[in-house]
Chains A and B, each alone.
Chain A
Amino acid sequence: MRELPFLINFELKRLIKSRAISVFLILIMLVLPIIMNNLDTQETIIEKWYGTLQLQMVFLLILIPSMVSYVWKGYLQSFERAVILLKLTNRAMYIVGKIVAVLLFVSVYLFFFYVIFFIFYANKIPISILLITLFQVFLSIFYSITFSFFISFYLKRTVYLHILLIVYLVFSIYLNSPYFSIWFNPDYLQHQMTDLLFNVKRGIFLSIGILFMFGNVLLFKRRVNDK
């Protein structure tokens, strides 16, 4: 476990250095909300926010496979195996570090966006709504990352990951199932998010994400022992 912070730190550095990913994230987190906010509509602040959030999440979830592929090719390169893994006391931490790094990287962008958002709209949006929505956002991101890592063990090319995630996302929004959907129709989310049963179902969804995380560790261990 002692090496986990170093592994995360290094992968974060690599992600920060990827200009394309950073540009897309800035577009999604900053430019898109500014454009949406300046559209002349009759909507309330919350409605505007949900509209923006919907677009943000769709683009963000589509971007996640690119981030996953950037840090993890789906297989172990010879230097990863013989140089990095050889120096680790727990080799599974290598994949855990990558998953956590992608999660942290997206979360930092989200955090800054919502700090600014909260400063501007603190008295216009109830804090409880904001926090519950944010929980759903993080849940979706966590699930998409662990799911993308899991699939990357089988599908080597990033484009296949993208296609799969887009199909999954379309089905998610169409079905609006709390057990299955990575993201929802904003109206559905707005009405359901305070419902206890909905949140219990999302808890089950979270458990599936955690299972994917364990699955990633198991698949990784198998890859390490395979030649």
Chain B
Amino acid sequence: MEIKIKNLTKIYKNIKVLDNVSLEIHNGVFGLLGENGAGKTTLMEIISTLLPFDDGEIEVAGLNVKKEPLKVCEILGYLPQKFDFFPKVTLEESFDYLCKLKGMNNSESRKQEINLRLQEVGLLSEQKKYIQELSGGMKQRFGIAQALIGNPKIILIDEPTVGLDPHERISFRNLITRISRDKIILLSTHIVQDIASTCKNLMVLQKGKVNYFGSTIDLINKVRGKVWLYNILDDEIPHVDLFVSLQDKGSSIEIRYIADNPLQGSISTEPTLEDAYIYINRKELTV
């Protein structure tokens, strides 16, 4: 099973939101990385048939998105960014409603589905709670549970960890990894750590264009031998090619940077996905 995208272009108000995007996604968690406004959500909405597109072709599990949108929807689950729901309905009522809309007409099978999905995300004991009573992390888990209704083959997850505390963020990542067997999970985020801990393959989008498409390891390897640490004793920060971060070490300040020719006295260090992302996007960070 795969998602195939060929030369996809989307124009909105005379601006190319997506410009000639091509990629193939196979089973597992696939990362879609890019800063805000890069076109990630637009791409997700186009794949999910919610948005029309201007040019190109999309095939989802052999189905043409333009010609067979209803069939595509049947095999899709979607968790949008900042997921929320009607506040004054219970989790159980919301789920029952969504199961009905997904075509589950038998009340017994609906009940089983609700129990299964809520158990999967650890919300079974909360099913009588109103949506407004759920924490941010619980809402996100409800979001992923609703995306799993009917056991879809493809799940689109948009910025799932924004606003979550570190504990919730880690448990959410584990949940994504757990449900990813035999499925395509397309995880869109601007948080590099989310991709680093869940995805084998990824695409980096920048201003609607594909900046990188391939494996996470290959992307990291692009900066191997180019990431350096340099300690400074005073406040004067030297000029470096591509600045990554600054860390206070007590008596000195440690600069992490990317360069082909390092400053004298720099120490080479193991690259991370964040280094590679900054390198590929060539985004100069301000101190």
Contacts and interface: CB of A to CB of B under 8 A. Distances in A.
Interface stretch (B85-93, B168-176, B246-254): B85-93
Contacts, number: 69
Contacts of B221: none
Nearest to B156: A82
Interface stretch (A85-93, A139-147, A202-210): A85-93
Interface string B144-176: 001100000000001000000000000000000
A82 B77 CA distance: 9
B83 interface: yes
Nearest to B105: A2
Contacts of B86: 14
A31 to B, nearest CB: 25
A84 B103 CA distance: 12
B73 A86 contact: yes
A225 B82 CA distance: 20
A141 B49 CA distance: 36
A3 B101 contact: yes
Interface residues of B, number: 34
A79 B93 contact: no
B80 A82 contact: yes
Nearest to B149: A87
Nearest to B52: A225
B32 to A, nearest CB: 15
Nearest to A89: B70
B50 A224 contact: yes
Interface string B91-124: 0010001101111000000000000000000000
Given A17-B89, A83-B98, A86-B76, A77 B84 contact: yes
Interface string B35-58: 000000010010011111000000
Contact of B102 (A10, A85, A87): A87
B277 interface: no
A6 interface: yes
B85 A87 contact: no
Contacts of B45: 82, 227
B93 A13 contact: yes
Contact of A87 (B42, B51, B52, B101): B101
A78 B81 contact: yes
A18 interface: yes
Contact of B98 (A81, A84, A224): A84
A17 B88 CA distance: 7
A86 B158 CA distance: 15
B70 A78 contact: no
B228 interface: no
A211 to B, nearest CB: 26
Interface string B125-151: 000000000000000000100110000
Nearest to A3: B101
A84 B101 contact: yes
Interface in A67-123: 77-79, 81-89
Contacts of B51: 225, 227
Contacts of A83: 78, 80, 83, 85, 98, 143, 146-147
Contacts of B98: 83-84, 87
Contacts of A88: 101
Given A6-B101, A10-B97, A85-B50, A78 B82 contact: yes
Interface string B55-83: 00000000000000010010010111111
Contacts of A2: 103
Contacts of B146: 83
Contact of B89 (A6, A14, A82): A14
Interface in B225-278: none
A81 B88 contact: no
Report, nearest first, the 9 A-B pairs whose CB atoms are least far apart.
Answer: A82-B80, A87-B101, A6-B100, A78-B80, A82-B78, A10-B97, A87-B102, A17-B88, A3-B101
9 contacts: A6-B97, A6-B100, A18-B88, A82-B158, A83-B78, A83-B98, A83-B146, A85-B50, A86-B73
Given A2-B103, A78-B81, 8 more contacts: A6-B97, A77-B84, A83-B85, A83-B143, A86-B73, A88-B101, A227-B17, A227-B45
